[in-house]
A and B are shown apart, each in its own frame.
Chain A
C-alpha cells in the first residue's frame, strides 16, 4: 500500500447520458462474498423508471435514423472502451465472487460478443429482409425495423456476459433500452454504463437503473411507452401473472437463454415492414 486511502466509486443510475442518484434518495448495499461492503448503490424508483423511458423514447428515432454503418462503428467503439477497461472489469467480477480465471474469461468473451453484434449492424437487414415475388405488377419488399423502446431485466449472473448478451442485440438495430439490474450485478451494469457514456453512444440510447427488480418489473411490464421487454434475466421466483399487463399495449415479451448468442436475438426486437408499389409506365 502506498499509504493513501483508496477512493471508492459511487454507483449511481445511468439516465439520458448522466449519472444521477435516485430521486427517491434510496440506496442498497452490495457486499462481497465475505460479507464486506463494496458499495452503496442507488435504488431506482418508479419515477426514475419513468424518466429513463422518457429518455429512451426521445433517443429512439434519432438512433434508428443513424446509418447502419454508423451504429456499427459506435458499437465497435464500445468494444474498444471495454477492452481498455478490461482490468477494471476483471477486478470487479473477482470482487463479487468469481475466481481470477473465470473473471478474465467472462470479460474476454463478453468483449468478443459485443464485437460480434457490432458487425451485424449493416448485415442483418440483408439476411432478414426480402424481395417478395407477388403475382401482380408490384414491387414488393420487406425490411426489418427496430421495435422501439425495450425494457431489459439484467441477468443476475453471469453479470457481464448476461447484460452484454441482452443489450447488444437490442441496440444494434436502433432500439433504445432501459435496463433494470439488481444485487451484485448492479455494479457490473453501472460500470458498463460508464463505458457506454464514453463511447459515442448517444445519450438516452441505453439507460441503466439499479434497484429492486420486483419493485420495478411491474412498472416496466405495464408502461404504455415500452414496446418490448426482455425478461430472460428475471429471478426464477418471479410471479409470472404480473406479465399479464404486457397486453395493455401488446408488448413483445422475449425470454431466451441468458447467454444465447444469435441473429434471432436481433430479430426479437425487430418489426418486419412490407412495402408495395405498382410497376408501370
Chain B
C-alpha cells in the first residue's frame, strides 16, 4: 500500500485484491493560519482575544487557529443581523433574495472540490462522501430554497406571514457545511437574517462559506458566523434580541435550549439525536439489504443522527444475515479520509472516540458479543473500527443510547408486531428503515413506526425537497421541503 494510513483488512488480500491508494490533492485548499469572526461582512477579532485550534482528526495535526466568540461578540453579530434586517433584507423583494441564494448555490458548485477537501480535512469524513454527498446536497439546498423566496404565498395560502427577524442557528460537526446550508437557505429565503455558530471541531467550511458570502455581495450582516463552543452557543440562545432559534445536535443540549426558549415563548426548532431501527424481514432482497445496513450505520463513521444503529432482523434469517454482514464489513476500507477508496474515515474528535469506546465497553459488560473486522487502524488520529454488537437486550445501554459512531447493535424478532414493538421502544423518533419485498407490509410498518423519516428498501437518502425531522425526543419542526419553510415565518394576524 502506498499510503500508511490506509491499511486494508486481510480479507481483501484473501481475495487477491489490493487497492492502490488514490489520495485527493489538497492543493486546492488554502487554509489560513487563523480566522476571525465573520460579523457584518468582515472578519473581525474577538473582544476577548480568545481562540482555539481546529485539528485534522485523522492526523491530530493542527489545521488552523479559530477565534472564540465571546458573549460581546455574539451581541455584535446579533446587532449586525438586526441592522441588516431592517436596512436591507426586510425591504428586499423575494425575487432578489432568491438571486443571492442562487449565486451562493453556483459558487458552491464551482468551488465544490475545494470545499469537499476542506470538509474532509477538518472533519475526518471520507472524501468520497464530502465530494458526492455533502457538497452536491449543500448546493442543492441553496438552489431549492432560492426558488421559494418569491413564492412563499403559494406555500402558505390564506396566511399573512412575515419573517421572524434575527435567527440564531447552532449546527453540529457531522455535516458542517451541509447543516449550514440546511439552516441558512430556508432562513434567508423567508427573509430572516442569521447568526450562525458552527461546531468547534469543524469550523473551517463555514468560514470558507463566509468568503463565498462576500464574493456574491450578500449585504453585510445578513449572515454572521461566530465560532466557538458551548459558551458561544448559549450566548446566542440567551440573547434577548434573537427572534427564533434553530438547533441541530444532541438531545441533551437540545433539551437545555428548549428549557431556555420555552419560558420566553421563543420560536424554536430542534433536530436532535436518534436510535433508528433498521428492520429486515425474511423476504428482503438480502444483498441490497446488506448494503443498506452498511450504508445505514457506517456512512460518515456513524456520526449521523438518523443512522440505522439498531438492526432488527427476523429470526429465521438472522444467522445468515449477520454472517453475510460480517463478511461485508471485512471488506470496508478504514483509513485516510482523503483516499478516494476509503469507506470509513476518522472519528471526528477525541471526545467522541472516548464516548464510543465507553459505550461499547458498557455493552460488552452488559453481555453483548462484539464483532470487529481484522483491519488495522492508523497509529495517529482518532479511529474506531466498524463494530457489530449481537446478543443485545432492549434494556442494554447500547440499545437505548445514541452511540454516534460506527457501531451497529443487533436484535432479532419473529413477527411484524414484535418488530414494531421493539422499533418504537425508544424515546427517539428520527428515522427508521424497512426491508421487505412485500408492499403491504412496507405500508403497514411505515404507518406505525413513530419516526419522521422512513426509508423503505433504501436508507440515508436526503434531498432538499424532502422534509426531515423527528418525532418525540428527536426534536420538532422539519427541515427541507415546503414544510421546512414554516419554521422561518410567523403569523401576523389573519389566518384561516
Contact = CB atoms under 8 A, between A and B. Distances in A.
A262 interface: yes
A274 to B, nearest CB: 5
B458 to A, nearest CB: 5
Given A246-B262, A277-B442, A252 B463 contact: no
A250 B457 contact: no
A136 B461 contact: yes
A94 to B, nearest CB: 30
Interface string B449-474: 00111111110010101111101111
A105 interface: no
A250 B472 CA distance: 7
A244 B263 contact: yes
A142 B446 CA distance: 11
A2 interface: no
Interface string A246-271: 11111011010000111110000001
B461 A276 contact: yes
Interface string A131-145: 011111010101000
A238 to B, nearest CB: 10
A35 interface: no
B421 to A, nearest CB: 12
B461 A138 contact: yes
Nearest to A239: B263
Nearest to B263: A240
A61 to B, nearest CB: 8
Given A133-B465, A250-B472, A250-B473, A278 B259 contact: no
B483 interface: yes
Report the interface size class on chain B: 35 or more
A274 B466 contact: yes
Contacts of A250: 251, 254-255, 258, 270, 272, 472-476
Nearest to A248: B255
Nearest to A280: B457
A241 interface: yes
Contacts of B467: 130, 132, 142, 272, 274
Given A142-B483, A249-B473, A261 B461 contact: no
A162 to B, nearest CB: 18
A138 B458 contact: yes
B458 A274 contact: no
Nearest to B443: A275
Nearest to B446: A275
Contact of A132 (B259, B265, B457, B481): B481
Given A275-B446, A277-B442, A130 B258 contact: no
Contact of A249 (B270, B442, B472, B495): B472
Among A138, A246, A264, A276, the most chain B Cβ lie within 10 Å of the Cβ of A276
A253 B495 contact: no
Contact of B452 (A247, A249, A272): A272
B478 interface: yes
Contact of A255 (B265, B455, B457, B458): B265
A159 interface: no
B256 interface: yes
Contact of A273 (B255, B264, B427, B454): B454
B353 to A, nearest CB: 27
A243 interface: yes
A253 B442 contact: no
A249 B481 contact: no
A272 B454 contact: no
A281 to B, nearest CB: 13
B188 interface: no
Contact of B482 (A130, A134, A140): A130
Given A142-B483, A250-B472, A253-B262, A276 B254 contact: no
B496 interface: yes
Contact of A278 (B254, B457, B483): B457
Contacts of B446: 273, 275
A173 interface: no
B437 to A, nearest CB: 12
A37 B263 CA distance: 37
A184 interface: no
A275 B456 contact: yes
Given A132-B465, A134-B466, 4 more contacts: A136-B461, A243-B263, A250-B258, A271-B452
Interface of A: 130, 132-136, 138, 140, 142, 147, 227, 240-241, 243-244, 246-250, 252-253, 255, 260-264, 271-278
4 closest A-B pairs (Cβ-Cβ)? A134-B463, A247-B258, A247-B255, A240-B263
13 contacts: A130-B482, A132-B465, A243-B263, A249-B473, A250-B254, A250-B258, A250-B272, A272-B483, A273-B471, A274-B453, A274-B468, A275-B453, A276-B461
